[in-house]
Structure 1
Amino acid sequence: MTSKLEIWDQWVDEHINYREPISLFDTNSQKKVTTKQHGRDNRPILHRSRQMEELLRMEGWKVVEDWKDTDDTYDGIIYIMYILDEDMFVPMYIGKAGKYGRDGKRLSANFKNIRTNNTKLARWGDGYAYHIGELSAVVLDHYDDTSVNRDRPPKGKYQRWADALFVSDTRQLSEPVYFWAKAWKKTDTGPFYDFETSLEPLEYNLINLASDLYPNRLLNSEGA
């Protein structure tokens, strides 16, 4: 009988070249994450690596072109933030950015101007309510800025990210953090039985597998 670890490893080996990992963040000579300014208030933002942005823009543009051409080849993007533990792939966060907006027809705002705009960037943008923007607000301590416009208090999700990724109250990473993303085709196969798997069940299945295999590392709460 095939174990969950074997199922996970087989899927990872098929889709992810983690032996040539792409860093999530840009770091300086002291291995601290660099910062940049963003927004009308010039607030500090953690800086993604150039390679990470290039990968995300490249895969995201495939989805945009697919929507423009109405080919319906891609569902959106699947992405994983991960670390390497003795060269083993260990997921820290699994997520997706679907192609369509809420009406099921228009292109999702997450892909708007993906080649030039950093605010949303397929869920990894600098704006509040996006991964880097929210994580920056925790790590760089500007959740209470007067420029923050929130419907409800900030969630603890990104505090957990900060605790897992950084040495306390610094921009120093606890260990190198990497990123993978792929424009997901409707004909691509998920981790179970080599069946064609659409983006939403793919994310669900991957989170379920990873939460069983890496419960002390995975930062997903929804779907786990």
Structure 2
Amino acid sequence: MSRTKETLWERWVTRTVLEDITAAETPDPVEIVDDSGAELTRTDAYDDYRLGRGAGDYLYLLYLLDEPVETATDIIPVYVGETGNIANRLLEHFRRLRDSLPTTEWADDGSWGSYSKYDHIATVYERATSPLYVWGCDIDEREQGPYGFPTYRHELEAKIVGLAHSHPRFTRALANRDFVPNRVPQEMAKVGPEWVGLEAETPNEEARMIRETPTVNVTGETKGALWLEWVDQTIRREIHDPEMVDPIPLFETDEDLTVALTERGQLKRSAAIETRIRAEGKQCVNADGVKEGQSGLLYVLYQLESTTPSPEEIVPRYIGKAEAYGKKNTLSANFEEIAKDRAGTQKFARWGDGNAYHVGELTNTVFGDDSKKRSWASELFEQGTHRLKAQTYLWVRAWDNQQYPSPYGYPAYLAEAEPLLIGLAYAASPETLLNHNEVPADAPANTRAFEFQPVPREEPVGK
């Protein structure tokens, strides 16, 4: 069998959903909606199914069947989710689906999310010849995810959504908004229910890109080893390349690693990282909006344990992305300053000085105006100072599958690559990674009692 994301999806569905559908001892397929009465109700099988699940971490799938069901391609994903309380989550899904019907009453109110995932699921339900079904599994009972490695529910959801969105057959039925490119919900919002198409059609942009990008062999036998392999081919390689300026410090500092402040009292980014962010951002956008090609920036905040580091000596602190497309507007607000060559850096591809952006939030935490970045301040700075414990660097690149390897060797779009890399970095370095989302609820970043003594301000910001 060829090594493609299509075959990965089909192999995973075959040994999970399809296996349960064909097994005599399971209740699958479980129909969700009983439409035999004057009002829509839940089927008894659906209630038995959701209430019969025990406590635990679950992945679940809402899906259609293309009868007769013979192979994995006859199972059409509509929504992929994860939860720690499957009985309540599935009850909520039914209620929200019911309240979204009929879709003829849907009206665009002009806000982002006006055409919600529930409107989308309701449209699929109305237009499909198949009933809408549910399947769920306790993740602890499934030793491996689709890539062949142990996984946790947040990561598994991202993996399954990524495979489904990359499949050329599921362009319009899939209702997920997370872990798909921002471009997709933005395009959905423009047309509402007319977005949904259930017949095979032209593959989406990601499916076409993935078909054109070869799968690369990886050798890591654990997720931690795969992280080191990826770091070796990206961050470490550029650090050791004499033609590159990496590693690039995030902040301007003195010899004691005290971070300089701007005239407004903000932590000051280094000139080199501002140059890198603008240069990489310009690969994604220009004055006319989003360019064809790279869809945004991937970044890794890290520290080094050596001046000539091995992959093991590159310590991950935070992994994130900034997509060039916005969810509401074609050009993301995060890229407006870069696209229009403005001097301002309030947003700056997520690394801006504004109160909702990384440097702004960290500044506010360091100086006691807020606490959103308490874990960052605690781990990166000496208590009561704006002096770094160790030099801190930022690797930031326009995400390009042709230039940079994907986490598991299979081509991945930006919104998919980010959570997959977080999963690998967490496996390799759970104690140092400061991501709070896309990691388990019991990860150190979510359970450790971070403390930071703020720096007293000598005078108000802006004076």
**How many pairs does the alignment contain?**
204
Give the partner amino acid of 2:304. L
8 Å CA contact 2:284, 2:291 repeated in 1: no
Amino acid at match of 1:35: L
Distance in 2 between residues matched to 1:29 and 1:189, nearest whole Å: 35
Output the CA distance in 1 between the equivalents of 2:412 and 2:255.
Answer: 42
Give the letter for the 2:361 counterpart.
E
* CA deviation after TM superposition for structure 1 residue 97, in Å: 0.3
Equivalent residues in 2 for 1:45-194, closer than 5 Å? 45-65=266-286, 68=289, 70-71=291-292, 73-86=293-306, 87=309, 88-103=313-328, 106-114=330-338, 115=341, 116-143=343-370, 155=372, 158-185=373-400, 187=402, 188-192=404-408, 194=409
Distance 1:11 1:137 in 2: 33
Alignment deviations for residues 99-130 of structure 1 (CA, whole Å, 9 cap, x no partner): 11113x51100001224221100000011000
Provide Cα deviations, 1:149-194, integer angstroms capped at 9, x if missing partner.
Answer: xxxxx53xx01100000000101111110110010135554110x2
Alignment of 1:175-214 (within 5 A): 175-185=390-400, 187=402, 188-192=404-408, 194-214=409-429
Q: State the 1:196 CA deviation.
A: 1.4
What per-residue deviation string (whole Å, max 9, x for no partner) do you get for residues 9-66 of structure 1? 221222222343111110124320010133xxxxx10001111111111001111139
Change beyond 3 A, Cα 1:141–1:175? same
Q: 1:69 & 1:79 partners in 2: Cα distance?
A: 19
Correspondence 1:14 to 2:14: no
Q: Which has the higher strand share?
A: 1
Matched, 1:36 2:252: no
Identify the structure with the greater helix proportion.
2
Root mean square deviation of aligned Cα? 1.9
CA gap 1:34/1:223 in 2 versus in 1, 3 angstroms: same
CA contact (8 A) 1:67 1:107 kept: no
- 1:125 corresponds to which letter in structure 2? G
Q: Secondary structure at the match of 2:286?
A: helix
Q: Secondary structure at the match of 1:55?
A: helix
| Aligned position for 1:41 | none
The residue identity in structure 2 corresponding to 1:60 is G
Contact 1:97 1:122 (C-alpha < 8 Å) held by counterparts: yes
Alpha-carbon distance, 1:140 to partner:
1.9
Structure 1: 5+ residue stretches without partners: 39-43, 144-153
CA distance in 2, matches of 1:89, 1:206: 14
Higher normalized contact order (CA 8 Å, seq sep 6+, divided by chain length): 1
Q: Give yes or no for contact 1:186–1:199 (8 Å, CA) kept in 2.
A: no
Larger radius of gyration: 2
Q: Tell me which residue corresponds to 1:217.
A: 432
Instruction: With the length of structure 2 as denominator, give the TM-score of the two structures.
Output: 0.42
Whole-angstrom distance in 1 between the partners of 2:406 and 2:288: 22
